């Protein structure tokens, strides 16, 4: 899907010390295959590095992969930094090992839908496409 005359731009990042990036790479490839433009920042990114890259790359979506248990800190920090950098319009979504109660708490703090292990990539693609059709200029 496109955002106006260009592809949806997604930044995929692995914040924190978690060194397992297979899932993030699978997601990045699936989003690329779906026609989105994907920037993958690699492992061990700080929230500041992620938000700065998102602004520099002018992305529409930031997808965080968090398996470390630090989701209640990392997701809100990236959201806060994007807001402070003048980009409250960027969707912050992602996935990992995140309990349902935490997913709901994060949603109330401005985080988009979160996805657990084993979720088909088609669910994420559909979610981003639907979000883009509602939030990005045609």
> Could you say which DSSP state residue 21 is in?
-
Mean pLDDT (whole number) for 128-134: 97
**Arch. (CATH architecture) of 6-133:** 3-Layer(aba) Sandwich (3.40)
Residue ranges per structural domain of the chain: 6-133
What's the CA dihedral at 14, 15, 18, 20 to 10 degrees?
Answer: 0
H-helix or E-strand containing 100?
helix 100-107
54 — pLDDT class (breaks 50, 70, 90) = very high
Cα radius of gyration (the chain):
13
pLDDT digits (tens, 9 = 90+) for 74-126: 999 999 999 999 999 999 999 999 999 999 999 999 999 999 999 999 999 99
DSSP string, 75-93: HHHHHHHHHHTT-TTSEEE
Nearest CA-CA partner of 72 in 38, 96, 54: 96
């Amino acid at each position: 899907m496109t955002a106006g005359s260009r592809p949806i731009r997604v930044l995929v990042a692995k914040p924190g010390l978690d060194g397992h990036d297979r899932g993030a790479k699978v997601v990045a490839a699936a989003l690329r295959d779906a026609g989105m433009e994907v920037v993958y920042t690699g492992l061990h990114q700080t929230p500041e590095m992620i938000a700065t890259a998102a602004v520099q790359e002018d992305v529409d979506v930031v997808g965080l992969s968090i398996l470390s248990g630090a989701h209640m800190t990392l997701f809100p920090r990236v959201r806060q930094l994007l807001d402070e950098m003048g980009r409250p319009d960027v969707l912050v979504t992602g996935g990992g090992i995140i309990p349902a109660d935490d997913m709901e708490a994060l949603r109330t703090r401005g985080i988009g839908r979160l996805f657990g292990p084993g979720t088909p990539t088609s669910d994420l693609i559909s979610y981003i496409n639907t979000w883009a059709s509602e939030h990005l200029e045609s």
